[in-house]
Chains A and B, each alone.
Chain A
C-alpha cells in the first residue's frame, strides 16, 4: 500500500499566483481531510469529505481557498490568488468509515513569496 500520496512535496510561488495541491487517498478510504500546519497555529482542519462530498469546510480561511474531490481517488486544494500568509505545510489524510485512525500524507510545503 503506497499510503496517502501528495504532490508536489514542495512549492515555491509568487504572491498572486494560483496554487494547486493534490492528494491521492489510500484506496478504499472514503473520508479525506485537508489540514494546514503553521508555527503560529499548529495543525488546523481546513475541509473534509465523506464519499467525495464536502461535509465541513468551516476551516477554509477565505474564498481564495477551494477544494474538490471529483472521485474517490483524487482531491485538490486550490489557492487563488496566493498570499505570503498562506505559506505553510498542507497535509492530506484519509480514513475508512468506522475507523477513527487517520493516515497522513507526507505534506506539501508551500512558500509564497
Chain B
C-alpha cells in the first residue's frame, strides 16, 4: 500500500463544476504539498499546508491532521485547470530522520471540458 493515496485517479468535469481531489496518507508528516503538472510537464507548487485551510484564487486546500487527509478544491473549473494534481507529504521528524524528503502520491489527472 502506498504511503500517499490520491483519489480519484482520473476526473473529467464540465467547465464551471466544483472539483474535489482527495489525498490520504499513512505516515506522520510535518507538511503536505499540492503540486500541479501541466501537459507540457512543468511542475508548479500550489500549496504547502501543515494545518487548516489555504485559498488562492479559485483553489482551496484543506488538511485534517487527525484524519491524515487533505483535499484540493477547484471552484468554477475551467479548461485551463486541466492538469495532473499531485499530493506530496514531507515526513515528520520521526519519519526516518530524513525530514526533507517528499513522498508523492500517484497524481490525479483532471480534464475540464468546455
The residues of A with any CB-CB pair to B shorter than 8 Å are 31, 33, 42-45, 48, 50, 55-56, 58, 89, 91, 93, 100-104, 106-107, 109
Contact = CB atoms under 8 A, between A and B. Distances in A.
A106 B102 contact: no
Interface centre among B41, B88, B105, B106 (most CB of A within 10 A): B41
A48 B100 CA distance: 8
Interface residues of B, number: 21
A108 B106 CA distance: 20
Contacts of B65: none
Interface stretch (B20-28, B42-50, B72-80): B42-50
A106 B43 CA distance: 7
B103 to A, nearest CB: 8
Contact of A42 (B31, B41, B48, B106): B106
Given A93-B43, A102-B33, 17 more contacts: A31-B100, A42-B104, A42-B105, A42-B107, A44-B104, A56-B101, A89-B41, A100-B31, A100-B33, A101-B33, A102-B45, A104-B35, A104-B42, A104-B43, A106-B41, A107-B41, A109-B41
The 5 closest A-B pairs by CB, nearest first: A104-B43, A43-B104, A56-B98, A42-B106, A100-B48
Nearest to A42: B106
A31 B98 CA distance: 13
A107 B44 CA distance: 12
